[in-house]
């Protein structure tokens, strides 16, 4: 499967989905002009990957500095997809990295983590 790599822009996060290594990452800031337009290709790529993953394992890193409320909805949809794959037997590790200076992002991570039952959730401080 072709990897998905989208560089960060001022208002959109970097997407680095390395499907060969089963390591997916979303990092930076997210407050796109049009959330649907930005996230739809990301959802499609993730759906195709997770459908083929089966009982395999994968890791998803969220390293977000800031996200607006409509992006939070998109992040929730990503979490739901990961949780659904884990419920079907995949070994899914979700990492939420937050800036230790911003407890709002830590709380948001906790809130997303509460809804994961099958995927394993890890809440960690960003390094540096």
Binding site for another protein (CB under 8 A): 10-11, 31, 33, 65-66, 68-70, 72-73, 76, 99, 101-105, 107, 111
The CB-of-98 to another protein minimum distance in angstroms stands at 11
CA 1 to CA 116: how far, in whole Å?
Answer: 26
The CB-of-62 to another protein minimum distance in angstroms stands at 15
The CB-of-61 to another protein minimum distance in angstroms stands at 20
The CB-of-16 to another protein minimum distance in angstroms stands at 23
Q: Compare residues 10 and 127 and give the one whose CB is closer to another protein.
A: 10
Q: Is 96 exposed, middle or buried (0-12, 13-18, 19+ CB in 10 A)?
A: buried
Q: Compare residues 3 and 70 and give the one whose CB is closer to another protein.
A: 70
Going by C-beta distance under 8 Å and a sequence separation of 6 or more, which residues neighbour residue 37? none
CA 32 to CA 52: how far, in whole Å?
Answer: 29
Q: Compare residues 66 and 95 and give the one whose CB is closer to another protein.
A: 66
Q: Compare residues 69 and 127 and give the one whose CB is closer to another protein.
A: 69
CA 121 to CA 128: how far, in whole Å?
Answer: 22
Residue 57 near residue 92 (C-beta atoms within 8 A): yes
């Amino acid at each position: 499967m072709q990897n998905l790599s989208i560089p960060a822009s001022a208002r959109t996060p970097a997407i680095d989905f390395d499907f060969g290594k089963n390591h997916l990452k979303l990092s930076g800031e997210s407050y796109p002009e049009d959330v649907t337009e930005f996230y739809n290709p990301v959802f499609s790529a993730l759906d195709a990957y997770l459908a083929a993953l089966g009982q395999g394992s994968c890791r998803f890193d969220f390293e977000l500095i800031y996200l607006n409320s409509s992006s939070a909805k998109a992040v929730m949809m990503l979490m739901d997809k990961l949780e659904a794959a884990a419920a079907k037997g995949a070994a899914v590790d979700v990492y939420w990295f937050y800036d230790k200076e911003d407890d709002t992002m830590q709380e948001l991570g906790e809130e997303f983590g509460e809804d994961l039952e099958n995927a394993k959730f890890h809440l960690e401080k960003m390094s540096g």
